[in-house]
Chains A and B, each alone.
Chain A
Amino acid sequence: EAQVTQNPRYLITVTGKKLTVTCSQNMNHEYMSWYRQDPGLGLRQIYYSMNVEVTDKGDVPEGYKVSRKEKRNFPLILESPSPNQTSLYFCASSLSQGAAEAFFGQGTRLTVV
């Protein structure tokens, strides 16, 4: 079954404690993205990757890092989380950038206190 898997689904952490949200896809897609979803704002892209070792900033990259060492994995790293990063995060993968269907993970609800 084609899927994008994120872990964890829920996470509560304290300000400044580094965390990583993992994302893995089994569709051999080259393009992967991270989005955050906030009420009234829809989804906003944080970072994206066009292939292994190729990543770039999206619309709201401040406070986040990513890496793409393998095609299937695209972890999101918060080096020093702050309360304004409390949000619902989605990983997505697709065959190409803006013209193809994006497949989304189940989401990670992060709370930073």
Chain B
Amino acid sequence: AQSVTQLGSHVSVSEGALVLLRCNYSSSVPPYLFWYVQYPNQGLQLLLKYTSAATLVKGINGFEAEFKKSETSFHLTKPSAHMSDAAEYFCAVGRTGRRALTFGSGTRLQVQP
């Protein structure tokens, strides 16, 4: 079985501040891990993906995530928040042969001016 826990359904940061969105997973085999972003009235868009090639994964729009096996975590970070980063972010876990990605419940990021 696999599952994803996103800590914090809402996160608010000031423009220019560090963004940290937390994701912990459980999986019986080495997982594939994803972060997706959903802007208002839009579908989900892939931010980045971990596939065991490197533990630090860089994605689009300045985001990155670090895979930590010992902590079963895959937290998403961005050094400096921009107003345009306001959106909902979903962490997901998958593995070869599994019929679907398992999504976390999402974290809504608010960026204050």
Contact (Cβ within 8 A) A98 B101: yes
Contact (Cβ within 8 A) B94 A97: yes
Q: Let me know if A101 is at the binding interface, CB within 8 A.
A: yes
Given contacts A43-B90, A104-B45, A107-B43, whether A98 and B106 have CB atoms under 8 Å apart is no
Given contacts A98-B94, A99-B32, whether A45 and B43 have CB atoms under 8 Å apart is no
Contact (Cβ within 8 A) A106 B99: no
Q: How far is the CB of B105 from chain A (nearest CB, A)?
A: 4
Q: How far is the CB of B61 from chain A (nearest CB, A)?
A: 16
For window 22-69 of chain A, which residues contact chain B by CB distance below 8 Å? Answer: 33, 35, 40-45, 48, 56, 58-59
Chain B interface, >50% SS class: loop
For window 90-111 of chain B, which residues contact chain A by CB distance below 8 Å? Answer: 90, 94-101, 103-106
Q: Let me know if B63 is at the binding interface, CB within 8 A.
A: no
**What is the CA–CA distance of A44 and B106 in the complex, to the nearest angstrom?**
12
B6 and chain A: residue at smallest CB distance? A42
**What is the CA–CA distance of A48 and B4 in the complex, to the nearest angstrom?**
20
Contact (Cβ within 8 A) A48 B105: no
Contact (Cβ within 8 A) B100 A98: yes
**What is the CA–CA distance of A102 and B44 in the complex, to the nearest angstrom?**
9
Chain B CB within 10 Å, residue with most, of A40, A97, A99, A104:
A99
Contact (Cβ within 8 A) A104 B44: yes
Q: Let me know if A81 is at the binding interface, CB within 8 A.
A: no
A-binding residues in B (CB < 8 A): 4, 9, 32, 34, 36, 41-46, 49, 51, 90, 94-101, 103-106
10 A-B contact pairs sorted by A residue (CB < 8 Å): A33-B100, A35-B103, A43-B103, A45-B99, A96-B96, A98-B101, A99-B51, A101-B34, A105-B43, A107-B42
